[in-house]
Amino acid sequence: MKKTLLFIIAILSFVIAEAQLHISTDTRKDAYWNATNEEWVITSTNTEELTFFNFNKAMTLFKHVTPSMTSAYIIDKVTNADDDKKMYEFDITSDVGNKYHMYIDEANMMIYITYTDSDDVLHAVIHIIKKIWNDSDSE
């Protein structure tokens, strides 16, 4: 019941709130962290994975649109925001209750969404940013 209510609130918030920040991406990479070598190991790359991230004005919710589905996320907490480095970090929860950590690296035009699996391995979905814009950019 709690997950259903959370999902309904998230969806209604997207309908009511206008999106402020928009990010389009054109490549998706999947990776895991090799703790021994201390490096990300890319397991797949899709250069035709076009997606959109649409944030509400308050930066409390966003919608991620992919070719196969649309998911809603609540931004639970901003864990770091460095305007000089153009790096932003968030703890996020999906519309089905999964927890992730999200990094928007505007300087390097990348988005990282990380999670730890049941074997305690750190994974990342890496999106290459095509464009970033605000609603005010089009006015």
> pLDDT, tens digit, for every residue of 30-78?
999 999 999 999 999 999 989 999 999 999 999 999 999 999 999 999 9
Percent of the chain at pLDDT exceeding 70: 84
pTM of the model: 0.81
Structure tokens given for 29:
């990479």
Structure tokens given for 139:
């006015």
Residues in the chain: 139
138, 131, 135: which is closest to 52 by C-alpha?
131
User: Would you give the distance in Å from CA 86 to the centre of its chain?
Assistant: 15
Q: How far apart are CA 107 and CA 131, in angstroms?
A: 12
